[in-house]
Amino acid sequence: MRTVIYPGSFDPLTNGHLDIVQRAARLFDRVIVAVAGNEAKQPLFSLAERVDLVRSSTAGMSNVEVDSFGGLLIEYVASRNGHAIIRGLRAVSDFEFEFQLALMNRKLDETVETIFMMPKDTYTFLSSRIVKEIARLGGDVLPFVPACVERALKIRHAQMGKEADVIAG
Ligand code: ADP
């Protein structure tokens, strides 16, 4: 049974992430989407919310599991008997950081490979950061994210708007 781990912040999951999950699910017996705690990045959604959104969006994929992890990725991969790590590459701009990360993970455990996958070309411009920015400014994000993520973004921004009103008095 070949297991791959697809780690990330997924704050929130986009159609680009989903595209990578689908590609990986066709190649491997089991794909574990591993949502990173990563509180230092000050995510818009809590870890539990991010896990729920990934879970709802991948519910129809029988060999995809969703989990969360904290600490060293390589230790998490070993704990789940993972054979490889999947990362998405959108453009040259992703390469430098991903290359560093992959080689560092190999130093920590040389038995675990990192595999890079490219999304459908129309998703190469998509990032969680850009989706959050569009949603914050009231734009339509439905072409870029699953419907449950779009709803969650609307609710979060409505809550934040109310909090801002309270602070402003
Ligand atoms: P991280 O905080 O680990 O970068 P992200 O959730 O932003 O987490 O991304 C997780 C992985 O998915 C990374 O390898 C990233 O390059 C990849 N990724 C993000 N957006 C896309 C996209 N639109 N298409 C393909 N891969 C993507």
pLDDT tens across 13-44, in order?
Answer: 999 999 999 999 999 999 999 999 977 789 99
| Known catalytic membership, residue 9 | no
Alpha-carbon distance of 99 to 104, in angstroms, equals 9
| Known catalytic membership, residue 17 | yes
CA 33-13-54 angle, to 5 degrees, is 50
Cα(17) to ligand 1 centroid in Å equals 6
Q: Which atom of ligand 1 is nearest to the CA of 87?
A: 14
**pLDDT recorded at residue 91:** 84
Cα(168) to ligand 1 centroid in Å equals 36
Cα(165) to ligand 1 centroid in Å equals 33
Tokens at residue 21, please?
């999950």
Q: Which of 17, 30, 50, 132 is catalytic?
A: 17
| Known catalytic membership, residue 128 | yes
| Residue bearing tokens 């400014």 | 137
Name the pTM for this structure: 0.94
pLDDT tens across 47-62, in order?
Answer: 999 999 999 999 999 9
Domains assigned to the chain = 3-168 (3.40.50.620)
Average pLDDT, the chain: 94
C-alpha dihedral over 139, 143, 144, 147, to 10 degrees? Answer: 90
pLDDT category, 6, cuts 50, 70, 90?
very high
Alpha-carbon distance of 82 to 70, in angstroms, equals 16
| Known catalytic membership, residue 154 | no
Mutation choice for ligand 1 from 19, 23, 127, CB with most ligand atoms inside 8 A: 127
Alpha-carbon distance of 58 to 105, in angstroms, equals 27
Nearest to 47 by CA among 12, 93, 71, 23: 12
pLDDT at 162 over 80: no
With a Cβ cut-off of 6 Å, ligand 1 is lined by 8-10, 14, 16-17, 20, 87-88, 90, 94, 119, 123, 126-128
Alpha-carbon distance of 109 to 104, in angstroms, equals 9
Say what percent of the chain tops pLDDT 70: 99
pLDDT tens across 123-149, in order?
Answer: 999 999 999 999 999 999 999 999 999
167 vs 83 pLDDT, higher one: 83
Q: Which of 30, 87, 90, 132 is catalytic?
A: 90
pLDDT tens across 104-113, in order?
Answer: 999 999 999 9
Residue range 91-108: mean pLDDT, rounded: 92
**pLDDT recorded at residue 39:** 73
